[in-house]
Amino acid sequence: MTLRSFLILLMVASPLAVSAQLAEAQTRLKSAVNEVLAVADRTASRGTLADSLRPVLQKHVSFETMTKRAVGPGWKQFTPAQQQQATQLFTTLIIRSYSNKFTPGEHPATTYQNPVSPAASRVDVPTSMVYKGSHYTVIYRMEQEGGWRITDVVIEGVSLIANYRSQLDAQFKKGGANAVISSLNQSVSRPQ
């Protein structure tokens, strides 16, 4: 292959590769959202919703990446055991928080907009959601981790991860990994 034809091939192929990536991530997100809604519809009682959503969410959401980012720079000073513990607690907290946002009988209507790729192996899928008669702008941030997985949700400009980062980073500065873990423990065990 001559250099010239190689360059031409590159020029043609890379935008295609990017748009294939975008389409793939968006398709993945759509199926994730539909699976979650199907489970939510099947689950009659609100009390058990968190339990029944957990497997679906763990399939599509990268709680490992989320926890790492939510903790921030201090993460590197966690021991593997502490990292695992923090991830478990954060996962439980997020799943519970997410499940509590469902109102039985209310169905969100999601419109998917054109996904963008702000960096390699990262895709942001902006959506517009109508829930209980109100409009919300929701951006799903997805990353390639052996398959596309959700790593952040930004609702009306409020990033879930940035929000927890501000809290957990403060805990870390106060008392290191132990403070982070005990603060997560406290939130998880707080009665609903």
Partner 1 sequence: MKSNVLTHLLLLAVAPLLTDCSSATKPAAAPASAAAVAATGKPAAKVGPAAADEVDEYATAKVSDPIEPFNRGMFWFNDQLYTFILRPISKGYEMLMPKPVRKGIDNAFENVKYPVRFVNCALQGKFKRAGQETGKFVVNTVGGVGGIFRPAEKIPALANVPAEDTAQTFATWGIGHGPYIVLPLFGPNSVRDTVGMAGDYALNPVNWPYLYWYGDRSKHDWTSVPPLANTLRSLPAQLDLYDNATKDAVDPYLSARSAYIQNRAEAAKK
Q: Give the nearest distance from C-beta 7 to partner 1 in angstroms.
A: 22
Check if the beta carbon of residue 140 is closer than 8 Å to that of residue 29: yes
CA distance 171 to 183: 7
Contact track, partner 1, 21-60, x by CB under 8 A: ----------------------------------------
Among 4, 120, 189, 191, binds partner 1 (CB under 8 A): 120
Q: Which residue, 56 or 179, has its beta carbon nearer to partner 1? A: 179
Q: Give the nearest distance from C-beta 144 to partner 1 in angstroms.
A: 9
Among 60, 61, 72, 102, binds partner 1 (CB under 8 A): 72
CB atoms within 10 A of CB 106: 11
Query: Which of these, 47, 70, 103, lies nearest to 183 by C-alpha position?
Result: 70
Q: Give the nearest distance from C-beta 33 to partner 1 in angstroms.
A: 17
- Can you tell me which residue has the tokens 């975008």? 22
CA distance 16 to 81: 42
